[in-house]
Structure 1
């Protein structure tokens, strides 16, 4: 009997590392609660439970199985309590919706019971610790996001040829200064030999003065236009170009909300200083919000800019303050809000929730 006991313990010790995946990366935005944790970067909720082996177990195998079952039940209970505290928006948490609607409560309970086992750990006293997790995207968001949320249809696809005609139009005024140079030379030279010789010295200085004038703007005008072209794709706002935004069409948005006291939520809003909504329900459809999540969260701006969610050319805007009762909404400057509206009119990154908030 002792041989089998030692063999079983050896198998358990070897098996533990196989069930120990990393729960979160160091740069992930993780919120720890009394009963579990919320990884706002991966949209995952985790909770642990510990089960002790019962004294009436017939053998070690039965004791371990019963301890695992008890730990799993406790972990699910802790997971449900953690999920209830998830902020939906600045005014409510998941528990508020569960109390108001039996349908939502039943659906959330069912989703939590279907949580997966992430890790098992067998302790020296014979008890078992189980870590369970669930994703908030998909069925969970579908259960808690109101049916009235979001646009009914996507905005029309932006025309990618819009910026192309603007550049040649800016270049066209360049040859205009050369036009006034040629007509005075032709008209005056024809009149000079026909009329009088004393009139020849008078028109001679006239063409000489305009000749250097077009020569001066010729090198200056293109230099000025090159300076104008660079800010135009970036829009004249406070968009941070030092991180990764290359100008042109933005592929995503990173909101730098560090130091504002922001708190993550499932449906955060971005508003201007007048309180006008720039991003969320008026821009995003309910389907995209459920499948993608309205926004991701991160702790580092550079890590957020390199995240696949915003692809390779995200715009970075600095938040001004946090708003709402739970401080989940982000206020940006009016100039930045106008710049963001212009960028979104030339791309669909907001409609498809390609947004990350750094807090």
Structure 2
């Protein structure tokens, strides 16, 4: 009778793709242009799980119903924890592994589960059971993302994205200078959504990742946005995603798996230099206007 769901919901203008709830508060970051402070571009996924409780017999109905509800809440929280454990942090680890080696993460994840919200509930009369649906946010204040980024980024300031290769000639390659964002197309490549994705080129150079993002921004919005399936791809095509109305679109060479998860993308050296050269003019990486199509 148990059922655990990882449900991805969308804000009005953006479709993500695997588990979370909208934050009520969004932070305006001074270094980020107003275009990318719009809450419509935030990740709005939640991890959701059901729990069930059986009404005990030989007890007044009201008391039995209350006890069944309590049992359903406990089971939903247990199911939530199991779902949360499987969430990828990066290509090397997931939440469960981090909890095993870091007592702070274990404690903070437990706190997130304890603070889970009841978003739906019902008494199923024909079965004599009570169902509760609970959720925890992946982004925003008090979220799983806050636990992750507090421990991954800590108090370190963001690292600037690199410059193009010294041999790259922006004039010869006709830098556009008006791109609103970056779209990385990885459709059908088996890319796993994660809190800490990265973009590399085929030489192994890191182009963009979690350390290039302000921590508060990462907590509220994520390092990248994910567009999954036709509905998500349509948001990108219509210019209503985080990448804006005129994104630079680049295809991947492959998906990179370092240890456990296929979370990182690899692009050509030529595309990497083009992205970094365009960013000097348009600053879309500096504004974190990055979407992965999966």
TM-score band w.r.t. shorter chain: 0.7 to 0.9
Structure with more of its chain in helix, by fraction: 1
**Is structure 2 residue 84 aligned with structure 1 residue 142?**
no
Greater gyration radius = 1
The residue number in structure 2 matching 1:262 is 191
The residue number in structure 1 matching 2:110 is 109
The residue number in structure 1 matching 2:50 is 48
Deviation at 1:45, TM superposition (A): 1.1
Inter-CA distance 122–298: structure 2 relative to 1 (3 Å threshold)? farther
Deviation at 1:148, TM superposition (A): 4.5
Deviations 1:291-311 (A, max 9, x none): 321122122323234444223
Partner SS, residue 250 of structure 1? coil
Question: In 2, are the aligned partners of 1:288 and 1:352 still within 8 Å (CA)?
Answer: no
Deviation at 1:282, TM superposition (A): 4.6
Deviation at 1:54, TM superposition (A): 1.2
Deviations 1:21-66 (A, max 9, x none): x9746x95545xxxxx66996332111111111114212x222222
Deviations 1:249-277 (A, max 9, x none): 22222211012121111101011111111
Deviations 1:224-266 (A, max 9, x none): xxxx9xx8354xxxxxxxxxxxxx4222222110121211111
Alignment of 1:220-299 (within 5 A): 232-234=174-176, 248-299=177-228
Inter-CA distance 23–148: structure 2 relative to 1 (3 Å threshold)? closer
Query: Which consecutive residues of structure 1, in runs of 5 or more, have no partner in the other structure?
Result: 1-21, 32-36, 157-165, 171-227, 235-247
Partner SS, residue 47 of structure 1? strand
Inter-CA distance 101–115: structure 2 relative to 1 (3 Å threshold)? same
Partner SS, residue 344 of structure 1? helix
**Is structure 2 residue 251 aligned with structure 1 residue 318?**
yes
| Structure 2 Cα separation of the partners of residues 311 and 150 of structure 1 | 30
| Structure 1 Cα separation of the partners of residues 69 and 178 of structure 2 | 52
Partner SS, residue 113 of structure 2? helix
Of structures 1 and 2, the one scoring higher in RCO (CA 8 A, sep 6+) is 2
TM-score (normalised: structure 1): 0.61
Alignment of 1:60-139 (within 5 A): 61-123=62-124, 124-138=126-140, 139=142
The residue number in structure 2 matching 1:303 is 235
Deviation at 1:289, TM superposition (A): 1.9
**Is structure 2 residue 289 aligned with structure 1 residue 358?**
no
Q: What CA RMSD, in Å, does the superposition of the two structures yield over aligned residues?
A: 3.0
Partner SS, residue 174 of structure 2? helix
Inter-CA distance 261–92: structure 2 relative to 1 (3 Å threshold)? same
Alignment size in residue pairs: 247
Query: Which consecutive residues of structure 2, in runs of 5 or more, have no partner in the other structure?
Result: 1-6, 22-41, 162-169
Structure with more of its chain in strand, by fraction: 2
Deviation at 1:150, TM superposition (A): 9.0
The residue number in structure 1 matching 2:276 is 341
Deviation at 1:84, TM superposition (A): 0.9
| Structure 1 Cα separation of the partners of residues 88 and 81 of structure 2 | 14
| Structure 1 Cα separation of the partners of residues 131 and 221 of structure 2 | 32
